[in-house]
Structure 1
C-alpha cells in the first residue's frame, strides 16, 4: 500500500500517471491479470481525485480526439490481453517501459505535432497499451504536450480521459476474469490512496519544477522496466 501511495504521488508530479509505476510494482506481489484488474479500479478513484482537485477547465478538443479513440482501443487491448500468457505480457511491459524511458531521456524536447491525425493516433496507442499492458498515460501525455496546456488543464483533461479509459476497461477485465473477489479487499484502501496521493502530489508540484522531476521519474521507470524484465525471465 505504501508503494501504491508513492506511485500515485510520483505519477501525479511526473505527469505519467500512477499506472506506469503501480503496474510493475504490484506485479511483484500479484499475478499480472490481477494487477490489470486492480489498476483499473485504482485509477477510477485516482482520476476522480485529479478531476476534482485540478478543476480549472477541460480541453474539449483533446477529450474528443484523444478520449474517444482511447476508449475504443482500450477495449480492443483489454480483449487481446486474454489471448496472451501473463508471462509474455510481463516481458512486453518491461520492454515497453525501457524503450519509453529511453525515448524521453534521449529526446528531452520530443513533441508530437499538434494535428488531428497525430492526436487520433496518440489516443489510439495510449488506449491500446492501457488495455493490453495496463499503462498508456505516458503516450497520452506526449501527445497532449504538443498543445502547451496550462498545468491544471493538462492534468484535469488527462485525468478525465483516463477515467473514461479505466471505466471502459473495468468491464472488459471483469468479463475476462481479471477482477477477483479475493482482490476486492484492496479496493477501499486503493481509493483512499488515490485521493491522498493526488493531494500530496498537487502540493509538491508547487515547489518542484516539473521538467526536473520528470527526469527522475524517467530514471525510475527505466529501473522498474529492467526489474520487470528480469523478474519475468527468472520467475
Structure 2
C-alpha cells in the first residue's frame, strides 16, 4: 500500500515536520496519525522513534543558540524515565485502543488551549517535572508527547531558538531511550528501514523550511493554527477505526 502512495506519504511527512518545527510541538504529533493510516500502531511507534532521532539532531543543529540546562534536567530526566515505562507497557495495550486514546488525547488537549486562550502553566520546577513525566509517558505509549512538553516549555517564555533547541535535546534523549525499548518489544520492522534515509531528508528539509517561516510570522497566531490542525488530526484518528 505504501509503495503506491509513497509520494503522498513523503509530502504529508514533510508537512508534519514543518508544522512541528513552527508550532514547537515536534513532528510526531502530526506524523503518528499520518503513519497510522499505513501501518499497525506498534510499527508506527518504531518508525517514529527512529525518524525523530534524526529530526531532533537537525533541530539542534539549526536552532543552536543556547540551551536551558536547568530545564534540561528538570523536564528531561523524568521524560526519559517515563518514556521507558510507557514504551514497555505499550505492548500490553490493544493497538485499536491506542489509536482511540491518541485521538482523544489530541482533541482534548487542542480544545482546552483553543477555548481557554489565557490558560498557562506556571514556570515552576514542580510543573517542569510534571510536564516531563506526562510527556515521557505519552511519548512511550502513544508515540507523541511533544504537545505536553511544548506547553510546559511555553510557560518559561524562552526565545524561539532556545525553546526549540531545548525541546529538541530533551526529545532526542526520549527518542533514543524509547528506540531501545521499542526494539526489544519487536516494533522495528526490517521491511520499513528503507524509509529512514528518506525521512532523514524530510526532517532536514522540513526543519529548514520551518525555521524560515518562524523568522517571518507571529508565533502566537501560528500556534492557534497548529492547535486547530491537531484537533482535526485527533478527530480523524478517532474515526479512522470506526
Identify the TM-score tier after normalising by the shorter chain. Answer: over 0.9
Runs of 4+ in 1 over 3 A off after TM superposition: none
- Counterpart-to-counterpart distance in 1, 2:21 and 2:117: 19
Name which of structure 1's ranges 152-161 and 110-119 shifts more when overlaid on structure 2. 110-119
Deviation, 1:191, is: 0.8
Deviation string 1:184-227 (CA, Å, 9 cap, x unpaired) is 01111011111110001000111111111111111111111111
Distance 1:145 1:228 in 2: 26
SS at match of 1:147: coil
TM-score between the two structures when normalised by the length of structure 2: 0.95
Match of 2:4 in 1: none
Matched, 1:36 2:45: yes
Q: Counterparts of 1:229 and 1:70 in 2: how far apart (Å)? A: 26
Deviation, structure 1 residue 175: 0.5
| 2:146 matches 1:137 | yes
Corresponding residue for 1:110? 119
Aligned residues: 233
Among 147, 153, 156, the alignment partner of 2:162 is 153
What is the CA–CA distance in structure 2 between the aligned matches of 1:14 and 1:108, rounded to whole Å? 15
2:14 aligns with one of 5, 28, 33: 5
Please give the alpha-carbon distance, in whole angstroms, between the structure 2 residues aligned to 1:194 and 1:94.
24
- Deviation per CA, 1:69-124: give whole Å up to 9, x if none: 00000000000100111101001001001001101101222221111111111100
Question: For 2:231, which of 197, 222, 230 is the aligned residue?
Answer: 222
Normalising by structure 1, report the TM-score: 0.97
Report SS of the residue matched to 2:225: helix
Q: 1:49 aligns with which of 55, 58, 73?
A: 58
Does 2:107 correspond to 1:98?
yes
Partner of 2:199: 190
Deviation of residue 157 (structure 1)? 0.3
